[in-house]
Amino acid sequence: MIKVEALTKSFGRQQVLRALSLEVPTGSITVIIGRSGGGKSVLLKHLIGLLYPDEGRVLVDGVEITALRGRALDDIRRRYGVVFQGGALFDSMSCHDNIAFPLREKLRLPAAEIAKRVEAALAQVGLEGMGAKFPAEISGGMRKRVAIARALVTEPEIVFFDEPTTGLDPVLVNTIHHLILDLHRRFRFTAVVVSHEIPEIFEIADTVAMLHEGRIAEVGPPAAIQASPNRVVRQFIRGEPDNSEER
Amino acid sequence: MPERPLAPTLRPFDAVGGWTIALLDSLGRFGTFFAEALAAVVTPPFKLRAFIDRIDYIGYRSLLIILLTGTFTGMVLGLQIYLTLVRFGSEAFLGPAVALSLIRELGPVLAALMVTGRAGSALTAEIGIMRITEQIDALTVMALNPMRYLVAPSILAGLVTFPLMTAIFDVVGIFGGYLVGVKLLGLSEGTYFGEMQTFVDLNDIMTGFWKSVSFGVVVTWVCTYKGFHVGHGAEGVARATTQAVVLSSVLILVADYFMGSILQ
Ligand SMILES: Nc1ncnc2c1ncn2[C@@H]1O[C@H](COP(=O)(O)OP(=O)(O)O)[C@@H](O)[C@H]1O
Ligand SMILES: [Mg+2]
């Protein structure tokens, strides 16, 4: 279980997270929603140890990762898979090498085993035979799928997805959601998904948490969130314009 | 968090203090960065592939510009020094004069400036783009140290390629001087090369060598650092690239002076 306790983070004078608390149960899909620029990526970066909080802490299975550095932090990260907002594929490498990279460098598997696993990973995301292409040569949707394949190829226990579908067409959105759901059923990883796809994302979520003004405004199963009386949540999931605080 | 506003008379001190802290802070980060890179160089595993790739990137791809600028620098030197020496009737010393200027000063400095313009800027831009597109973060969360994969190979490659580029620059420069002095202005070939052998000794060559080694480290250090700590967006990369080239060039000339006075 990932436990976030009273996380506070500011950049200069801008306070992004204000004593945010959240629990992510093991083996389930937790979706974080909230408006753009609200600090969802910042929250995610605290969970993977790329940012450190001003106050508060993050516990992964009881280990306080916000207190860890270097080797000790890397030991936790070896259990992680991360799909970054822009994919973050290495553009100097082909798609095949991108997926092979963590196997080669992180797990040090033999070449034959790597080739086999990369082919399987590409097939899983519906990109058989595309391994030789470079990230710059494929479409945005394909890049996202390669990024998902790369994150999952090491069979991580915990996977973070930062807006895996933003900017894709509705068909691809559904394809990727089903891909996540399908892979989740197979590997049973703990998933934390940041998403704007409302209402589609409710179909794959076990828990939905709404981030608003640096805190979790509401958390619960999708049905409860959709029926929430909370004004902030209702406005957000119905996409009503917010006149009170235009940014 | 509300802060009490400063009295107007104290504001300049506040500004200077803030500026000094920022400067010391960035110097500290610059030093720490090098220490981390060094740690990645001396601890296994060594990334041979990345190292060879960086040699290609910094060295091989700078070859053409080194050949061009080296030849023309030698030709300019040949012409100018000849025109000076001929006034004293001592044009026989053209060979050693060209060779010494190149080997001790111009070779290391100009080669380093050229490689900075060609490869240093590209290095900063490449690493900067990897930073803003989260490729460096991706390495980090794979529990792989970006220092080992990106920075250490570049600095090591700088260490190796800068002396090589300098040597090539020197050789084609001496050849350029030969073209002008011997082929154009009619000095005898034996005089040009013979006097050179008499006057240039190992000490001169080692001076140039140590200079080029230090420039190699300084340039790759500055350029990788600037890429690593790039600001936001394309504009951040553009600014970092400019800063990397300017800072590298200034440091090359500063280091050249100090190395020159130490290694007489
Ligand atoms: N490294 C950083 N330095 C300064 N400000 C940052 C940094 N990262 C994020 N921010 C700011 O924090 C806020 C939240 O950003 P982010 O978490 O990316 O939002 P989103 O919810 O869309 O993912 C934004 O206003 C952004 O400008
Ligand atoms: Mg984001």
CATH of the domain at A6: 3.40.50.300
B141 vs A77, A86, A105: nearest CB: A77
Across-strand partners of A161? A83, A193
ipTM for the complex?
0.91
What is the C-alpha end-to-end distance of chain A, expressed in Å? 35
A88 vs B137, B143, B144: nearest CB: B137
Q: How many CB atoms within 10 Å of residue A12? A: 5
Does B123 map to a domain?
yes
> Domain range holding B144?
65-263
Closest to A58 in 3D by CA, of A18, A9, A7: A7
**pLDDT score, position A71:** 87
**pLDDT score, position B26:** 85
pLDDT of A247 above 50: no
C-alpha–C-alpha distance, residues B37 and B221, integer Å = 9
List chain A residues with CB under 8 Å of B142: 77, 101-102, 105-106
pLDDT of B2 above 80: no
List chain B residues with CB under 8 Å of A13: 1
Count of the separate structural domains present in chain B? 1
Mean pLDDT along residues A83-104? 94
Helix (H, G, I), strand (E, B) or coil at B107: helix
pLDDT of B3 above 70: no
- Tell me phi and psi for residue B82, to 5 degrees: -60, -50
Are B112 and B161 in contact by the 8 Å Cβ rule? The answer is: no
pLDDT of A164 above 70: yes
pLDDT of A124 above 90: no
- Which protein residue's CA is at the shortest distance from atom 16 of ligand 1? A39
B contact set with A (CB within 8 A):
1, 129-130, 133-135, 137-138, 140-144
Please report the atom of ligand 1 found closest to the CA of residue A42: 17
- Model confidence at A242, pLDDT cuts 50, 70, 90, reads low
**pLDDT score, position B1:** 47
Residue range B192-235, pLDDT digits in tens: 999 888 899 999 999 999 999 999 999 999 999 999 999 999 99
Higher pLDDT, A172 or B3: A172
Closest to A183 in 3D by CA, of A160, A157, A204, A152: A152
Q: Where are the alpha helices (DSSP H) in chain B?
A: 11-42, 48-58, 63-85, 94-100, 107-115, 121-132, 135-141, 146, 152-178, 189-199, 202-228, 233-262
Query: Which one of B141, B154, B232, B237 makes the best mutation probe of the A interface by having the most chain A beta carbons within 10 Å?
Result: B141
**pLDDT score, position A244:** 57
Count of the separate structural domains present in chain A? 1
> Among A184-188, A195-199, B8-12, B161-165, where is mean pLDDT lowest?
B8-12
The answer for A 45-84 residues in CB contact with B (under 8 A) is 45, 48-50, 74-75, 77-78, 80, 82, 84
Probe target for ligand 1 pocket from A8, A9, A33, A41, with the most ligand atoms within 8 Å of CB: A41
- Model confidence at A245, pLDDT cuts 50, 70, 90, reads low
C-alpha–C-alpha distance, residues B75 and A168, integer Å = 59
Does B116 map to a domain?
yes
User: Backbone dihedral region of B144: left (phi > 0), alpha (psi from -120 to 50 degrees) or beta?
Assistant: beta
Does B73 map to a domain?
yes
Closest to A150 in 3D by CA, of A92, A103, A219: A103
pLDDT of A243 above 70: no
Does B225 map to a domain?
yes
Name the strand (E) or helix (H) holding A60.
strand A55-60
Does B212 map to a domain?
yes
Instruction: State whether B138 and A80 contact (CB < 8 Å).
Output: no
pLDDT of B13 above 90: no
- Model confidence at A246, pLDDT cuts 50, 70, 90, reads very low
> Domain range holding A53?
2-245
Query: pTM of the prediction?
Result: 0.89
Please report the atom of ligand 1 found closest to the CA of residue A34: 21
**A194 alpha carbon to ligand 2 midpoint, in Å?**
8
Mean pLDDT along residues B26-43? 88
DSSP letter for B105, please. Answer: I
pLDDT of A231 above 70: yes
Does B253 map to a domain?
yes
Nearest CA in chain A to B46: A105
Could you give the count of Cα atoms lying within 13 Å of A247 in the half-sphere of its Cβ? 5
- Model confidence at B6, pLDDT cuts 50, 70, 90, reads confident
Does B47 map to a domain?
no
| Average pLDDT taken over every residue of chain B | 92
What is the C-alpha end-to-end distance of chain B, expressed in Å? 57
Residue range A193-223, pLDDT digits in tens: 999 888 899 999 999 999 999 999 999 999 9
- Which protein residue's CA is at the shortest distance from atom 14 of ligand 1? A39
Ligand 1: list residues with CB < 6 Å.
Answer: A 11, 16, 34, 36-42
**pLDDT score, position A65:** 93
